[in-house]
Amino acid sequence: MGVTANLQTADPAASPPIMARLFSATGRMMVTVVDLSDDMAVATTDSPPPTGSIAVVARNCVRLPATVAAIEGGRFTLTLDEPLDGRRREQFVGLKPAATHRRPDVAAAA
> pTM for the full model?
0.72
Q: Tell me: the pLDDT tens digits for 5-60? A: 344 444 434 567 999 999 999 899 999 999 999 999 999 999 999 999 999 999 99
pLDDT in the model for residue 3: 46
How many residues appear in the chain?
Answer: 110
Q: What are the extents of the domains in the chain?
A: 3-109
Q: Tell me: the pLDDT tens digits for 66-101? A: 999 999 989 999 999 999 988 999 999 987 554 555
Q: What are the residues facing 75 on neighbouring strands?
A: 44, 72
3-109 in CATH: which number?
A: 2.40.10
User: What is the rounded distance in angstroms from the CA atom of residue 110 to the CA atom of residue 103?
Assistant: 11
Q: Are 101 and 61 in contact (CB under 8 A)?
A: yes
Task: Outline where DSSP puts E strands in the chain.
Answer: 18-24, 27-36, 40-44, 54-59, 62-72, 75-80
Q: What's the sign of the alpha-carbon dihedral 31, 92, 64, 83?
A: negative
2 pLDDT exceeds 50? no
